[in-house]
Amino acid sequence: MGLHSHQVRKIRPKPAAVYVRHRPETTLLYQIVQEYWPEFQAELTRQGRYLPAYITKEFDEYLKCGRLEHGFLRVRCESCRDERLVAFSCKRRGFCPSCGARRMADSAALLVDEILPYQPMRQWVLSVPFPLRFLFASNPKAMTGALGIVYRAISTHLAHKAGFAKPMAQTGAVTLIQRFGGALNLNIHFHMLFLDGVYIEPTQSIKVRFRRVKAPTGDELNQLTHTIAHRVGRYLERKGLLELDTGNSYLSAQAVETPDDDPSHHLFGHSITYRIAVGPQQGRKLFTLQTLPDCESHNPFSNSVGEAAGFSLHAGVATRAHERDKLERLCRYIARPAVSAKRLSMTRNGQVRYELKTPWRNGTTHVIFEPLDFISRLVALIPKPRVNLTRFHGVFAPNSKHRAEVTPAKRGKVKQPRSLDKDQTPAEFQSAMTWAKRLKRVFGIDIETCNACGGDVKIIGRSVL
């Protein structure tokens, strides 16, 4: 029995999402910054304090991000000649949600496609005591030295657990340094994506081969955390950055010398300790909203957390070799932007309310800021210039002799440069095409295809105002 023509239905592919220009001026975060950033600067000026130039530039560039009046690209469809304007972004690393989301997608894609091999991976998260959070925020060199100690401790643990001495077994990790906590507090901690095993050094008969290790036990995590706390404490004491109390083996008192004329250090300290930084309530604890905590709740990761002297080491999240989608989601999570615009709102009396992603154990669900104090939280989240927040260790390090052998993109070998499209400068190719690929990969938006006719879109000009 045949089908009539009107009964035949063609299965059409799902259309790609349509690109819609981001309008930051309509978001609550932009409106708060636009209104209260000048007032915040004036308040510091009255106190005789002046912020470093990199912080001022971060706010000024954010207020221009996505605004056509501050510069744009002009693109045209080569088929139907349809045109549109694409505004420039600030590309800052502090608190811009739009640029942070693009960087998150770009970092995750880079790690999964070119760096992380098809091997099991495990996330190790190290949190440090309050004094070290302030020290690492104000002294990046001290943070780099401590991070090296942490990597060596964990990699030695993995090698010994695999049954090899450290020189015979090599592992690797990518560390993403996060500066923020769930309450927009300054909380420098390390997210380390470690190989869940080790590569055995090659011999005459075998090449580099991988050996997986079992997940760490609770006792192993506690011992490892104790080792890290002890070694980091000794390192900082030798550098003259920390004083150890005789009644406590580890981190009880800080001896950090910071210049009094840098108001950002004052803001760092209040952000770390959840205290109000400016205004008549300065020094008091933040106002929070709470619900009754669940008395029967328990921590499902209690067996995968080690604690010692204010340090906390978590290693409960892992991916298998074939779980590349899960690995990319994990990479996006640890590379996510500091501020979530969806969790930001205003109260009826004009205060800023920020919802916690996960309620605290005491039932806290929201933190409440005065607008000027909210600006001070954003200031504390801005990293210093030229401080790399992504670090590569072991076989993933640029100088590793095994990097080209273990990474999917064979990094470390000389590669031919990509060819440019006709009539396109290298700068246009790098900026426009990378941005287009991010949109397509994460949101299903194909900026290179015309929404009207499906033709190819080409950059025909740019304007910088």
State pLDDT tens for residues 34-66: 999 999 999 999 988 889 999 999 999 999 998
**pLDDT(326) > 90:** yes
Q: How far is CA 5 from CA 1, 9, 13, 149, in A?
A: 13, 9, 21, 72
Q: Which pLDDT belongs to residue 350?
A: 93
**Residue 121 in domain:** yes
Residues 188 and 280 in one domain: yes
Q: Which pLDDT belongs to residue 392?
A: 96
Going by pLDDT thresholds of 50, 70 and 90, the confidence category of residue 10 is very low
| Contacts by residues 38-45 (CB-CB < 8 Å, ≥ 24 positions apart) | 39/372, 40/278, 40/372, 40/375, 40/376, 43/278, 43/372, 44/263, 44/278
Q: Which pLDDT belongs to residue 464?
A: 62
Q: Which pLDDT belongs to residue 309?
A: 85
**pLDDT, tens only, 221-241:** 999 999 999 999 999 989 888
Torsion of CA 57, 38, 278, 135, to 10 degrees: 0
**Residue 35 in domain:** yes
Residues 137 and 165 in one domain: yes
Going by pLDDT thresholds of 50, 70 and 90, the confidence category of residue 294 is low
Torsion of CA 314, 317, 320, 326, to 10 degrees: -140
Average pLDDT, the chain: 81
Going by pLDDT thresholds of 50, 70 and 90, the confidence category of residue 288 is confident
Residues 325 and 187 in one domain: yes
Q: Which pLDDT belongs to residue 206?
A: 57
**pLDDT(440) > 90:** no
**Most confident by average pLDDT, 97-106, 206-215, 319-328:** 319-328
Residues 399 and 274 in one domain: yes
Structure tokens at 411: 């990094």
Q: What is the mean pLDDT of residues 201-218?
A: 79
Query: Residue 348: is it exposed, middle or buried by C-beta count within 10 angstroms (0-12/13-18/19+)?
Result: exposed
**Residue 15 in domain:** no
Lowest mean pLDDT segment, chosen from 56-65, 154-163, 340-349, 354-363: 354-363
Residues 187 and 235 in one domain: yes
**pLDDT(260) > 60:** no
**pLDDT(242) > 90:** no
**Residue 349 in domain:** no
**Residue 149 in domain:** yes
**pLDDT(142) > 90:** yes
**Most confident by average pLDDT, 7-11, 65-69, 429-433:** 65-69
**pLDDT(444) > 80:** no
Q: Which pLDDT belongs to residue 146?
A: 96
Q: Which pLDDT belongs to residue 448?
A: 67
Residues 184 and 319 in one domain: yes
Q: Which pLDDT belongs to residue 279?
A: 73
Which is more confident, 308 or 431? 308
Q: Which pLDDT belongs to residue 458?
A: 72
Residues 86 and 103 in one domain: no
Mapped onto helix, strand or coil, the DSSP state of residue 434 is helix
Q: What is the mean pLDDT of residues 151-170?
A: 91
Lowest mean pLDDT segment, chosen from 252-256, 338-342, 361-365: 252-256
Q: At what angle do helices 218-238 and 130-138 cross, to 10 degrees?
A: 50
Going by pLDDT thresholds of 50, 70 and 90, the confidence category of residue 267 is confident
Q: Tally Cβ neighbours within 10 Å of residue 217.
A: 12
Q: Which pLDDT belongs to residue 246?
A: 52
Q: Which pLDDT belongs to residue 442?
A: 52
Residues 166 and 271 in one domain: yes
Q: What backbone torsions phi and psi does residue 459 show, to the nearest 5 degrees?
A: -75, 130
**Residue 67 in domain:** yes
**pLDDT(1) > 50:** no
Nearest-angstrom CA–CA distance, 135 and 137: 5
Going by pLDDT thresholds of 50, 70 and 90, the confidence category of residue 8 is very low
Residues 261 and 120 in one domain: yes
Q: What is the mean pLDDT of residues 153-171?
A: 90
**Residue 82 in domain:** yes
User: What pTM did the predictor assign?
Assistant: 0.83
Residues 112 and 260 in one domain: yes
Lowest mean pLDDT segment, chosen from 99-113, 245-259, 320-334: 245-259
Helix intervals (H) in 191-273: 218-238, 263-272
Q: Which pLDDT belongs to residue 276?
A: 81
One-letter amino acid of 17: A
**pLDDT(251) > 80:** no
State the total domains in the chain. 2
Sheet with 83-87, side-by-side order of all strands: 83-87, 72-77, 457-463
**Residue 362 in domain:** no
Q: Domain range for residue 35?
A: 24-92+416-463
Q: What is the mean pLDDT of residues 419-433?
A: 47
Residues 279 and 420 in one domain: no
Residues 6+ apart with CB under 8 A from 433: none
Q: What is the mean pLDDT of residues 407-428?
A: 58
Lowest mean pLDDT segment, chosen from 34-43, 246-255, 275-284, 448-457: 246-255
Residues 421 and 442 in one domain: yes
